[in-house]
Chain A
C-alpha cells in the first residue's frame, strides 16, 4: 500500500506529471503514447480487481442469512437485521471502545516513537554503530506474533517469569501481568513497540536522507544547537512524509492485530481484550455465524473509511498536502 504513494510523490517532485486525457478522441492518442506505462500498470489493476474488488461480492452476505449449503445466491435476504442485532448487542459498545482505545494507544504511542527513533538514528554519526543498531531493531519485525506472545508468557508468567520475579524482589509487588485487565493494553502496546518501531523507521530514514545539508550548515553558522536544528529544519522537511504516514497508519489503525490480541486473551482480561477482529473470528469462524460477522467486519471497514477521510480533511485544513 505504501509504495505507490511514495512513487506518486516522487513523480510530482520531479515534475513528471503526464498530461491528463481530455476527451474520447484524445484518449486513444494519449493511450498510444503511454502504452508501455499502462502495460506496467496492468498487473496491479488485475491484482486489485481479483483479490480486492472481486471478493467484495461476498460482502453481500452481510445482508443475508447465509447458510453455506444454500450458497451466497440461495441464502435469503434479511436487510439490515445483522447490523441491528450487532448494534443492539451488549457487546457492541465494549468492542467499539476496546478497538478504538487500543487503536489510539498504538497510534499515539507507537507512531511518535517511530519518528523519534528515526531522528535518533539519523543523529548517530558513527556509521557502523548506526547500521548495527538499525539491523538490530529491524529483527523483531520478522518474528511472528506467536513467538512474541510466547516470549511475553515466559517473561511475565506468574511466580516463575524472570520479570515477575524481578519486580517481586525489588518492589515487593506481585502483578499478574498476563491476566490483570489493567495490564492488558500496556502489554499490547509494549509488544507493538518492540516488534514494529524499528521497522517503521525505514521510510522516515529515507525521507531524512533527502534533507538539504546546506541548511544544517547555515543553521550551525547561525549558532543553532542540535535540538534547534531538529525542530526547525529536520521536522519541517519531513512533515509531508509524516502526514502521509499518519493517514496511512490511521487507515490501518482499526486492524488492531488479530493474532497478537487473540494470543494474549484469556477469560480474565477478555473484558478489555475483545476487539472487532477477534470477535469476527470468534462468531464467524468458530461459531459459523458468517453473515453476522461479515456485518461486523463491514461496519469496521466503514469506521476505517470515516477515519481516513477525516484525517485527510484535517490535513488539508491545516494547509498540508493530504493523501488525495
Chain B
C-alpha cells in the first residue's frame, strides 16, 4: 500500500518537476515577495480558518499575504517527509526535529544553510547561541529555531491527599517512592477502599523524549541522552545510573505504585486518573500543573485551591540535583531551496521571518489582539471579560498561531495574567521553581551532533532499547535481558554511532 503510494508520489513528482523547470527558465530578478507560504503543525482539534482576525492582522503587520498550510501535529512528521518528496514545497517549513528524513535532505542541499545569514537580521540574531548550536546539524544552521524554555520538568501531586496523610512534598526520588507508596496503600481519598495508586504513566516509550522514564533516569544521574564518562561520550542507557533508575521504577511497578497498564494507557487521558482521584502523581512538564488546576476549577469554581501541588526536579540518590532540561528548542523554521531559488529571494523570505519575529507579531501570535481578546495590565496580558465571540475566536486561533513563534531572543510577548490570585500564585511559583532548577540543569552534550549511522538507522536502534526498557519494567524480561538489548544496540550499529558522535564532539572542541 504505502510503497505504492510512495512510488506514485515519486512518479508524480518527476512529472511535475519537469513542468516546473520548464516554467522557471531564465534568470529574471526575484519578483517582489507578495505572498509567503508556510507549513506548520496545529495541536487543536481544528486548524484556524483562513479569514480569521489573527490571520488578517498578521498579513497587515507583515505586509504580505501569508498562506499557512496547517498539518495535524500527530502526523506532522509523516507529512513533512511526504511534502519533501513532493513538488509543491512551501517557502517556509516548520521542521519539528532533526529526523533522519530531514537530515538526509538537508545534507543533499534541500534547505538553505543559514549559519552565516541569521546574524544580519536584528530579530533573528539569537541571544542563545548554545540553543542555536543545539538546533544545528553538526554546526550548520538550517533554520530559525523555535525557542522553548529549557527547564520544564516537574512532579505534580494531589495536594489534598498529601495533606490528609500528613506528608511533605517530595524532594528526592526516595521521597517520590514514599509518597507513591502512601498514595497507594493508605487510602488517601478516604473511601475505605484500596482503589488508588501512586504515579500515572501513559504509553510513552521512545528514548530521549522527556518521558517520565527519561526524567527519573536523569535524576539518578544517567545524563541527558548522552553523558561524558572517562573523557568519552556514551549514551545514557550505558551508565550504571540508568539501570539503577530503572530498577527503582520497576520496584514501583512491582509494588503496584504505578498504573499497571502503563505500556498501553492513552496519553490523551493522562489527566483523568489524577482528576478522578485514582492516581495521585504525574511526572511531566510544569505547564500541566496549570492545566490540572484549571480542571479542578471547572468542576468546582469555589473550591479548587490546594488540590494540585507540585515540585520541580528531584534529587538523586547521590544527594545531588541533576535537573532535566530540554534542548531549548522545538524544531525550527527552514527554507527549502526548491521553492526559494536565489539568494535574493532567500533574503526576502528571511526579511519576512525577521518581521515575524518582531515584538508586535510575537504579541499577536502568543497573546492575541489587544482590545479584542486581551488588554495589557502591568506588563501582563489579561483576558478581557466577559469574552466576546470575536475574542474567543482569537483566543482559539492563537493556540495554533503560537506554533509560528520563534522567540530566538527570549519571549518578548506578555506573560498571561492568571484569572485568579491563586492561579497567579501557582504560575509565579512555577516560574520561580523552574528558574531555580535551571541552575542545576544537565544538558545533552551531543545535541548538535548528527551521526551518519544514526541517520541511517538510529530510530530502529533506539527502539531496541526503548522497547526493552518497557518490557523490563513490565516484567517480560529481567535485568540481564535489558543489558542484552543494550549490547544488541551496540553491535547492530550503536558502536559506530558512538564513534561518530565522539569524533564530531572532539572536532567541535
Q: Give the interface of A toward B (CB within 8 A).
A: 51, 54-59, 61, 66-73, 89-91, 153, 157-159, 176, 178-179, 181, 255, 258, 266-268, 270-271, 277, 280-290, 293-294, 297-298
Contact = CB atoms under 8 A, between A and B. Distances in A.
Interface in B444-491: 456-457, 459-460, 463, 466-467, 470-471, 474, 476, 488
Nearest to A174: B260
Given A90-B488, A282-B460, 15 more contacts: A55-B4, A58-B8, A61-B7, A67-B104, A67-B105, A68-B86, A267-B471, A268-B263, A268-B474, A285-B2, A285-B82, A286-B81, A288-B84, A290-B85, A297-B2
Nearest to A295: B3
Contacts of B114: none
A90 B13 CA distance: 34
A71 B17 contact: yes
A294 B3 contact: yes
List 6 A-B pairs, minimum CB-CB distance, nearest first: A288-B101, A58-B7, A69-B110, A297-B3, A267-B470, A68-B85
Main DSSP-derived SS at the B contact region:
helix
B197 to A, nearest CB: 10
B7 A179 contact: no
B13 A69 contact: no
A59 B7 contact: yes
24 contacts: A55-B8, A57-B11, A58-B10, A67-B105, A68-B86, A69-B109, A72-B13, A73-B14, A89-B492, A90-B488, A176-B261, A179-B263, A179-B474, A255-B1, A266-B264, A267-B263, A267-B467, A270-B463, A285-B2, A285-B78, A288-B100, A288-B104, A289-B456, A293-B3
Nearest to A158: B261
B112 interface: no
A247 B467 CA distance: 37
B78 A258 contact: no
B422 to A, nearest CB: 33
Contact of A56 (B7, B203, B457): B7
A216 B474 CA distance: 59
Interface of B: 1-4, 6-11, 13-14, 17, 77-78, 81-82, 84-86, 99-102, 104-105, 108-110, 203, 205, 260-261, 263-264, 337-338, 456-457, 459-460, 463, 466-467, 470-471, 474, 476, 488, 492
Main DSSP-derived SS at the A contact region:
helix
Nearest to B206: A267
B20 to A, nearest CB: 11
Nearest to B204: A267
Given A267-B466, A277-B2, A294-B3, A286 B263 contact: no
B6 A68 contact: no
Nearest to B468: A267
B2 A288 contact: no
A270 B467 CA distance: 8
A280 B3 CA distance: 8
Given A176-B261, A288-B101, A267 B11 contact: no
A270 B264 CA distance: 12
Given A67-B108, A72-B13, A179-B474, A287 B101 contact: yes
B159 to A, nearest CB: 26
B102 A70 contact: no
A120 to B, nearest CB: 33
A72 B9 CA distance: 11
Contact of B6 (A54, A89, A282, A290): A290
A268 B470 contact: yes
A66 B456 CA distance: 12
A176 B471 CA distance: 13
A178 B264 CA distance: 8
A68 B17 CA distance: 12
Given A158-B260, A277-B1, A268 B476 contact: yes
Contacts of A283: 459-460
Contacts of A176: 260-261
Contacts of A59: 3, 7
A284 B6 contact: yes
A293 B86 CA distance: 18
B490 to A, nearest CB: 12
Nearest to B492: A90
Contacts of B108: 67, 69-70
Given A91-B460, A288-B100, A69 B2 contact: no
B264 A181 contact: no
Contacts of A281: 2
